[in-house]
Amino acid sequence: MTKPGYRAPWTHGAYAYAQADTFADFREGMKRKRIQQHVMMPNTGEAGDKPCSLCGIALRDAYPHNKDTAMEFYRADEQSTWVYTPKTKTVVGMHYGCSWGALFSAIAQIRL
């Protein structure tokens, strides 16, 4: 059995996130989607050449993981996070670690 290029969560070996192998597969998987989607893409392919929308470093390259500490940890992720917004038909790619930083930043901005 061969894996399709786009895999929905919990199908064909994908875990909690949807996965796509190429941008063509990504586009095919986003058809008829009406809410924001998070898709993981491998950095060994065409996605790895793109810069992270948050830190600006190429997605396949190592990046500073903790800039605000005295020690800097550098890491390179195998996959990057891509966020698709159907309303505006925009796609934003970022390192997996940067995407968590953006999420926690947004949570910290919430005021009760």
Residue-wise pLDDT for 51-86, tens only, equals 999 989 999 988 876 666 555 667 778 999 999 999
Identity of residue 93: G
Q: Of 62, 72, 59, 73, nearest to 23 (Cα)?
A: 59
Residue 103 has what pLDDT? 86
Q: Are 42 and 21 a contacting pair, CB within 8 Å?
A: yes
How far apart CA 98 and CA 62 sit, in angstroms, is 12
pTM: 0.84
How far apart CA 78 and CA 98 sit, in angstroms, is 13
Backbone angles phi, psi at 79, to 5 degrees: -130, 155
The better pLDDT of the pair 71, 2 is held by 2
- Within 10 angstroms of residue 32's Cβ, the number of other Cβ atoms is 6
